[in-house]
Amino acid sequence: MTNEVKAFTVDFTAVALQLFAAPVETLSVKQQYRALAALVRRDYAVAWARTKAAEDRGGRKQVYYFSIEFLPGRLLASNLLNLGIKTTVDSGLHELGLDPAAIYAAEPEPALGNGGLGRLGSAFLDAMASTGMAGHGNGIRYQYGLFKQRFVDGYQVELPDDWLREPNVWETRQDDRAVIVKFGGEVTMRPGPTGRLVAHYTNTEDVLAVPYDTGIVGYRTDMVNTMRLWAAEPVPGAAFSLTEKERIAAITQVLYPDDSQESGRELRLRQEYFFVAAGVASIVRHYLRDHRDLLRLPAFVAIHINDTYPAMAIPELMRLLLDDYGLTWDQAWGVVVATMSYTNHTLLAEALESWDWGLFNRTLPRIAQLIAEIDRRFRAQYDPRFGQLLVDRTAPLADGRVRMAYLAALGSHRVNGVSELHSTILRESLLRDMATIFPDRFVNETNGITLRRWVMLADPGLAALLDRETDRRWRRSPRALMSLARQPAATSLLTSLGAVKLANKTALAEYIHQETGLVVDPQAQFDVQIKRLHAYKRQLLHLLGILADYLMLKDGQRVLPRVHIFGAKAAPSYSYAKAIIKVINAAADLINGDSGIAGQLQVVFLPNYNVALAERIVPAADVSEQISLAGKEASGTSNMKMMANGAVTLATLDGANLEIRDAVGAANIATFGLTAEQVIAHQEAHDYQAAAVAASDPLLQRVLAMLTDGTIPGISLEGRVIVDSLLAENDEYFVLADFAAYQAAKKLLAERYADPSTWQRMSLANIAASGRFAADYTVAGYGQEIWGIRPQRPAE
């Protein structure tokens, strides 16, 4: 035992004893987890305090990343890794006869997000801390996170995620930093001492916002940034009824599990204003401790708006500057625009956020007034130059609604999309008129991922191999992975890569067996689709492909042995998505139970997809399905995660898939299907006829028949709904149009897979090219082009 390991076991035993008054070996795994976490917190406490003190000295510009969702994943193992003590701790735990993996898995997952948008926020916090950028998160401390998903008879059932029933060891409640947020009431303008009109609020509903801070530990740096999440409570000392108390608690009670439609609920509006107002107030208060001149705010503070949900930061900062600090409108607006920046994450017009003016006005009267004034001044200023039509199309207020994307773009000095294609479509189509008025505001920042979590933590076998090949350089300089692709790879490297993948697949096969009872063959190709369930992401295309393969097998044709693995949650109100889940599960039962094709085709839908489950699946993927309808997926990030773990992407020409293709070369990816331009052309010409496509393809006809003719038991309703969406409703997402091309692309990947050395070469090329998608580079790009800050330790 090394001295370090020894020292750890002594410390750990002592902390455990102190916390639970019992020897560590006799504690439950949960208790062991809590003891270890307490020890880890102690380890970074000094660095956290130092980071905050350095910040208080006020010299460096700080970024505040406002996001209604964060998805950090479990923190214990990641903190150990970033602190550089994971190997020591793993050995120490083994010395004590304990199981590190079990202890790490005892941590409840903080599921404070729906998917990509929340995960991206957390990846950025990790990357900023790791590269030495002062960047903090601002969000909501939801009492209940995203629902837990179970399948009952193949149907999705949602269970509440009561994650705070267990103590959250990572957070610190900061009572002395609480702020009051005001809702409702009336606003009157009265002349103040200087004769200017001053806003007075009466009859407001006051809510206490209490911050809970979590340290964000950078990879091997002494920087610990802060993720600040706000909880709503009654103001101490104020009288309130039980219903009032409940109304307040409701603000931070639940994460909206809906990323499909804008669900215009008052509570959501209150949530948005609550965390934004609290965040802006605490930033300004903090700023004024060391500075006097609010006109200089943008030199020291950048506020980033993660999609439009925090866009009220714009009128809220206006409100503070005007009402509380007496700036003039033009001064305040200048400060706001220079401080704010906005990322758009969606091209689905129906997903753009807008609010009913009446509701908005009742809930947030002063903010509504300010938006009306922003709107009025915008029209007055730009109408003469751009004409009324264009100004009408881009103004924040239209048709009795507040249009948040226009407000966000108007009040920010930068607007970005999250992949090249997405940013282009934003500029040329979705926000085209905005880009005409403000051409210099629009930039692209392609998404990125935390390679350390997705490779070092999730795939330690691969990480060890990459350490050897790059002399560990890839950990800090992910682009160093490119050296793997330069020379023809040694056979030994390819063989090791194959062995790592097989071991990962074997581990996932064990998990599948444990969770579902199904036995899958780790030698078969693992074909994976993991993401939220959405019509545009086209899990349905994947399913139709499986059914076609099944029919071919039954006809006696040979196909490559394949295991299809799904992970996806559907919004509880999204019945079409839920129908697809049911049909995939029912098809899985039929196919997995058919002894006539045993071992050649299997389908697994793993329940409760979340970050922890992704960490099991991603390292085991051979094929990464990224098959959204072109022009719909803003970027995607599971594509990057699986690529970094050596999967080959099966992709439409959408989102970041295009950049992945450019990075790996066309030979190391399988792309297929309509381009975004072709899709738009069909939509404009109204010349797509789904039924005609089906009629001309006998295999496709048989596949569709299976959905309604009873071949798949128990789906008479759902099968009908799906077939109707394809035929009667003319297949909004062009599933049938892309079907034949999809099958051909899949077949190509089957052929490549049949020759292990060819496949391993492709796999290696993907790993080698994945470095550029590290979030370390992404945040550096934001720093350079948007926030005006630099990493202290940039990734090379």
Q: Which residues are catalytic?
A: 345, 531-532, 537, 637, 641
Establish if 527 lies at the interface with ligand 26Q (CB under 6 A): no
Beta partners for residue 527, in sequence order: 564, 623
Instruction: Report the distance separating Cα 93 and Cα 102, nearest Å.
Output: 11
Closer by beta carbon to ligand 26Q, 107 or else 126: 126
Helix count and strand count (H, E) for the chain: 33, 23
Task: Tally Cβ neighbours within 10 Å of residue 724.
Answer: 11
Per DSSP, the three-state class of 237 is coil
Instruction: Report the distance separating Cα 693 and Cα 703, nearest Å.
Output: 13
Closer by beta carbon to ligand 26Q, 147 or else 333: 147
Residue 569 near residue 606 (C-beta atoms within 8 A): no
As measured in angstroms, the least distance from the Cβ of 324 to ligand 26Q is 30
Closer by beta carbon to ligand 26Q, 9 or else 343: 343
- Binding segment toward ligand 26Q, per CB under 6 A, in 112-120, 469-477, 499-507, 598-606: 112-120
Considering only CA atoms, which of 363, 288, 343, 362 is closest in space to residue 320?
288
Which of residues 90, 272, 527, 633 is near ligand 26Q by CB under 6 A?
Answer: 633
Footprint of ligand 26Q on 70-99 (CB under 6 A): none
Footprint of ligand 26Q on 655-684 (CB under 6 A): 655
What secondary structure letter does DSSP report for 217? E
Instruction: Report the distance separating Cα 545 and Cα 538, nearest Å.
Output: 11
As measured in angstroms, the least distance from the Cβ of 120 to ligand 26Q is 4
As measured in angstroms, the least distance from the Cβ of 498 to ligand 26Q is 30
Establish if 654 lies at the interface with ligand 26Q (CB under 6 A): no
Angstrom distances, CA of residue 685 to CA of 425, 426, 682, 689, 735? 19, 22, 5, 11, 18
Establish if 469 lies at the interface with ligand 26Q (CB under 6 A): no
Closer by beta carbon to ligand 26Q, 256 or else 576: 256
Q: Report the residue number whose CB is nearest to ligand 26Q.
A: 116
Footprint of ligand 26Q on 326-355 (CB under 6 A): 345-346
Considering only CA atoms, which of 133, 74, 138 is closest in space to residue 306?
138
Closer by beta carbon to ligand 26Q, 626 or else 725: 626
Closer by beta carbon to ligand 26Q, 178 or else 786: 786
Which of residues 116, 461, 478, 673 is near ligand 26Q by CB under 6 A?
Answer: 116
Alpha helices by DSSP H, listed for 350-456, are 357-363, 365-386, 388-394, 404-410, 420-425, 432-437, 451
* Max Cα distance, the chain (Å): 89
As measured in angstroms, the least distance from the Cβ of 571 to ligand 26Q is 8
As measured in angstroms, the least distance from the Cβ of 658 to ligand 26Q is 13
Residue 554 near residue 745 (C-beta atoms within 8 A): no
**Residue 746 phi/psi, 5° resolution?**
-65, -40
Residue 198 near residue 190 (C-beta atoms within 8 A): yes
Establish if 418 lies at the interface with ligand 26Q (CB under 6 A): yes
Footprint of ligand 26Q on 238-267 (CB under 6 A): 256, 258-259, 262-263
Instruction: Report the distance separating Cα 93 and Cα 97, nearest Å.
Output: 6
Beta partners for residue 649, in sequence order: 624
> Total residues contacting ligand 26Q (rule CB under 6 A)?
21
Considering only CA atoms, which of 107, 104, 223 is closest in space to residue 170?
107
- Binding segment toward ligand 26Q, per CB under 6 A, in 41-49, 162-170, 317-325, 635-643: 635-643
As measured in angstroms, the least distance from the Cβ of 344 to ligand 26Q is 9
Instruction: Report the distance separating Cα 151 and Cα 157, nearest Å.
Output: 6
Closer by beta carbon to ligand 26Q, 351 or else 727: 351
Task: Tally Cβ neighbours within 10 Å of residue 543.
Answer: 23
Stretch (H or E) spanning 224: strand 224-234
Closer by beta carbon to ligand 26Q, 257 or else 771: 257
- Binding segment toward ligand 26Q, per CB under 6 A, in 633-641, 717-725, 752-760, 774-782: 633-641
Establish if 447 lies at the interface with ligand 26Q (CB under 6 A): yes
Establish if 268 lies at the interface with ligand 26Q (CB under 6 A): yes
The site string for ligand 26Q over 191-230 (x = CB under 6 A, - otherwise) reads ----------------------------------------
By the criterion CB under 6 A, which residues form the site for ligand 26Q?
Answer: 114-117, 120, 256, 258-259, 262-263, 268, 345-346, 418, 447, 633-637, 655
